[in-house]
Amino acid sequence: MKKILILTILLIFTNLATYAEKIPVKIVPDQLISTCYDEIQVGDSVKFKAANDVYLNDKIYIKKDTPIVGIVSYVSENGWSFDNAQVDFETFKTRDVNNKIVVINSPVKINGFEILKYKGNRKAQFFNYAGVIFRGKEIEIIQGIDDVKYTIWLNQT
């Protein structure tokens, strides 16, 4: 009986972190993100900014346009035949309204093929999609031109 009680208590405490509420933080790139000329490497800091105000317990926690820095955890250059470039982020750092550092561990994957849908309506868009058959797409997100938003998830503490 004691074993069942202990196991139940352990199960409850280990699941509390699993079911913690996560708060969405919308971010937009605040600098050029590109794999075209080997401009981004693992460990680089990439600037983003908060796209909206973020609220925690009905109080503003992170203001809109607050700088957020993402640390590159993986880079894959494009290759031949559907091998699109990819850049991954695992860790983001920012400051809250009280100027305390907030570390957000939330994965974001940027894929060259996915970026095509944000490149606007151009007459040559068909050729961009068809060209993936021969050569994978590079990543090139231009700040202020490409309307790209990502969501990272802040654990409520």
pLDDT above 90 covers what percent of the chain?
A: 24
Residue 6, domain member (yes or no): no
User: Which tokens go with 65?
Assistant: 């346009």
Residue 16, domain member (yes or no): no
- The predicted structure's pLDDT at residue 68: 93
- Which pLDDT band, with edges at 50, 70 and 90, does 48 fall under? very high
Residue 15, domain member (yes or no): no
Q: What single string gives the DSSP state of each residue in 29-66?
A: ESS-EE-TTS---TT-EEEEEESS-EEETTEEEE-TT-
Mean pLDDT score, 26-53: 86
- The predicted structure's pLDDT at residue 129: 53
Residue 13, domain member (yes or no): no
Name which of 73, 71, 75 is nearest 103 in CA terms. 71
Three-state DSSP state, 157:
coil
- Which pLDDT band, with edges at 50, 70 and 90, does 42 fall under? confident
Residue 112, domain member (yes or no): yes
Residue 103, domain member (yes or no): yes
- The predicted structure's pLDDT at residue 142: 73
Residue 2, domain member (yes or no): no
Overall domain count for the chain = 1
Indicate which CATH number applies to the domain containing 45.
2.40.128
- 52-90 pLDDT tens trace: 988 988 898 999 999 999 999 988 776 566 667 788 999
CA dist 137 and 97 (Å) reads 39
Burial of 59 (0-12, 13-18, 19+ CB in 10 A): exposed
- Full domain range(s) for residue 112: 22-155
Give me the residues paired with residue 101 across strands. 95
Q: Give Cα separations from 24 to 54, 62, 135 (angstroms).
A: 8, 11, 35
User: Which tokens go with 52?
Assistant: 């909206």
- 3-30 pLDDT tens trace: 666 666 666 666 555 556 888 999 999 9
- The predicted structure's pLDDT at residue 23: 87
Residue 29, domain member (yes or no): yes
pTM: 0.73
